[in-house]
Amino acid sequence: MKNIVIFGAPGSGKGTYSAKLVERYGLGHISTGDVLRGEIKNGTELGKTAKAYIDEGKLIPDSLMIDILASKLDSFAGEKGVIYDGFPRTIAQADAFKEMLAQRGMKIDAMVELVVGEDVLMERLLRRAEIEGRADDNEETIKKRFVEYHAKTQPLSEWFANEGVRQQFTWPGHMDEMLSGIYAAMDKLMA
Ligand code: AMP
């Protein structure tokens, strides 16, 4: 089973490209943001805790996120690959993830980083706010999410580079061009 992390700032397109990859290669998928929004919708204790952080544009504590991931990981057994969308987001999560995979005889096989300028990100997120109505897609919270991203998540890009799995794709201005670069890399990985 190939373990593929999709990485990037809020609004970089992690969800959009994940969906494309899931369809093209027949992969399993976990979006930790979607898991948390599901918990909030169902009014669970975890959802209540998560909401307080999400509404503030903050990351959920590592221990909680690591437990969530661990509880889902075994359900992917038998898939030829899985896309991790929005996880890991801190070095502590990445270290725990690497360990969790190692215990199962696996590793992180690829990290796909979506590199997009902040002006484009803000524009996309504000547009998404109008379409999807996500509570954390307002200008004030978006700015806090960017601060959190730069402080805690961006440094993780180097961590993946050190693991020898980082592949960066810079937004060329067109989705088709972005996709063809990602597909070329993924075709090799999944061959
Ligand atoms: P996303 O849908 O990936 O943009 O995630 C929405 C929000 O969920 C983030 O702003 C965080 O508050 C929270 N979240 C999702 N994944 C994680 C994670 N791996 N670690 C910490 N917080 C997360």
What tens digit of pLDDT does each residue of 4-54 get? 999 999 999 999 999 999 999 999 999 999 999 999 999 999 999 999 999
Q: What is the mean pLDDT of the chain?
A: 96
pLDDT surpasses 90 at 189: yes
Please give the Cα distance from 4 to 186 (Å, whole number): 9
Please give the distance, rounded to the nearest whole angstrom, from the Cα atom of residue 37 to the centre of ligand 1: 9
User: Does any ligand 1 atom lie closer than 6 A to the CB of residue 146?
Assistant: no
pLDDT at 8: 98
Chain CA centroid to CA 124, Å: 17
The set of residues, in sequence order, having a beta carbon less than 8 Å from that of 171 and lying 6+ positions away, is: 12, 114, 115, 116, 117, 120, 178
Q: Residue 149 — very low, low, confident or very high, per pLDDT cuts 50/70/90?
A: very high
- According to DSSP, the residues that pair with 166 across neighbouring strands are 111
pLDDT at 145: 97
- According to DSSP, the residues that pair with 83 across neighbouring strands are 4, 29
**34-47 burial string, b = 16+ CB within 10 Å, else e?**
ebbbebbeeeeebb
Please write the tens of the pLDDT for every residue from 50-73: 999 999 999 999 999 999 999 999
Q: Residue 133 — very low, low, confident or very high, per pLDDT cuts 50/70/90?
A: confident
Please write the tens of the pLDDT for every residue from 92-128: 999 999 999 999 999 999 999 999 999 999 999 999 9
Q: Are 113 and 7 in contact (CB under 8 A)?
A: yes
Q: Residue 135 — very low, low, confident or very high, per pLDDT cuts 50/70/90?
A: confident
Please give the distance, rounded to the nearest whole angstrom, from the Cα atom of residue 59 to the centre of ligand 1: 6
Query: Span 152-180, mean pLDDT?
Result: 97
User: Does any ligand 1 atom lie closer than 6 A to the CB of residue 8?
Assistant: no
Please give the Cα distance from 68 to 153 (Å, whole number): 18
Q: Is 78 left (phi over 0), alpha (psi -120 to 50) or beta?
A: left
Kindly tell me the sign of the dihedral angle through the C-alpha atoms of 157, 85, 121, 139. Answer: negative
User: Does any ligand 1 atom lie closer than 6 A to the CB of residue 51?
Assistant: no
Q: 105 burial class (0-12, 13-18, 19+ CB within 10 angstroms)?
A: exposed
Please give the distance, rounded to the nearest whole angstrom, from the Cα atom of residue 60 to the centre of ligand 1: 7
Please give the Cα distance from 8 to 160 (Å, whole number): 12
Query: Span 169-184, mean pLDDT?
Result: 97
Pairing of strands 110-115, 28-31: unpaired
- pTM for this model (two decimals): 0.96
The verdict on whether 145 is a catalytic residue reads yes
pLDDT at 63: 97
User: Does any ligand 1 atom lie closer than 6 A to the CB of residue 36?
Assistant: yes
